[in-house]
Amino acid sequence: MAYPHCSPYPDFYAIDALLSDEQKLVALTLRNFLSREAEPLIPEHFEKEEFPTALIPKLGELGVLGANLSGYGLPGMDNVAYGLVMKELERCDSGLRSFASVQGALVMYPIHEYGSEEQKKEWLPKLGRGEAVGCFGLTEADGGSDPGAMKTRAEDKGDHWLLNGAKMWITNGNLAQVAVVWAKTDAGVKGFVVPTATKGVTVKKMRGKMSLRASVTSELYFDQVKLPKSAVLPKADGLKAALSCLTQARYGIAWGAIGAAESCFDEVVAYTKDRILFNKPLASFQLVQKKLATIATDITQAQLLALRLGQLKDEGKMHFAQVSMAKQANVEMALRNARVCRDMLGANGIMLEYKSMRHMCNLESVYTYEGTNDIHSLIVGSQITGIPAFG
């Protein structure tokens, strides 16, 4: 989807013509901001394993945090515009899209959808402006693809809740002032809004990642954490509510992965045109053009898949299995082609000043998180056959 005055990534099927002026303006404004203020920061932060926190209030000002939610000072964008936001963020770096995705889809969405009016008024405006950061506590060390096996528990003590347990692989954990935590209770799985400064909450940053290095990943520990009765999300109906949040996030990933693929494609097109080999541009060789044509075709297919998914979501007709198909297909496409682009850059491709290997490394995580590639294939298979194949 090529916007005016932007780099030449493919829009072979004139998808731009299907977008409203407002949608195109949202994407172009964000791309210009990220090109100017974010892209110069990412290599250093990736190398240092740090998130560029200076961008958080600026992302809030741009209205990209919880962008498709309404009320409480939130932008209320349509879901195609929101998808374009996710695409532009990941075009810069998967860590930026992960930050915004967790903030909006995994923290603000459950509060917006399942929270009390008091919870909404307290947290949604601050989270939307970037004045507070949130994280989402579902995954555990022994849970992974089986979130129902969680061991974290909350006990109803009459006048308060008592929370104990641990969560792992938590994006934004060390940045967060609030966590949406899912725990087992005698009445089933419930969600809780937990300020991270609460006594008994410990947050530990996970280090040594070789992927998503410009993103904060943490462990959360809860030791006899006393919570008021008002901490529970009153409208959250068991594990189904937690999974509905993941559906929102996976929708954004289906768009975001396209941005990573487009970034790699842009880089390798420019490189192969400038790189002279045997006295002619590398782009003039048949094998190179074959690879570029394949990548452009793959990106175009992913664009169409995401656009239709966004239309279905705006019409209220989106099914979670359709989200699984798009997340699985588009991330697999992006990772496969990031590897091809890295190869086409030759030895230069392993250097941090080039983007393709950074995207490739990031996409290894995106391929796995929010439902692994295999799990999403099984979700689609279950929808086709009516026979669940999990476990």
> Which residues does the annotation mark as catalytic?
370
Q: How far apart are CA 335 and CA 323, in angstroms?
A: 18
**Cα R_g (the chain), whole angstroms:** 21
With b for 16 or more beta-carbon neighbours within 10 A and e for fewer, the 274-297 pattern comes to ebeeeeeebbeeeebeebbeebbe
Whether residue 219 contacts residue 269, with contact meaning beta carbons closer than 8 Å, is answered with: no
What residue has token string 């074959």?
Answer: 290
CB-side neighbour CA atoms (13 Å) of 72: 25
Q: Among 204, 225, 220, which residue's Cα sits nearest to residue 154?
A: 225
Query: For the residues of 40-81, what is the DSSP string, one character each?
Result: TTHHHHHHHT---GGGHHHHHHHT-TTTT-EETTEE---HHH
CA dihedral (20, 21, 22, 24) positive or negative: positive
DSSP 175: G
Whether residue 125 contacts residue 154, with contact meaning beta carbons closer than 8 Å, is answered with: no
Q: Which residues sit opposite 165 in a β-bridge?
A: 222
Whether residue 142 contacts residue 202, with contact meaning beta carbons closer than 8 Å, is answered with: no
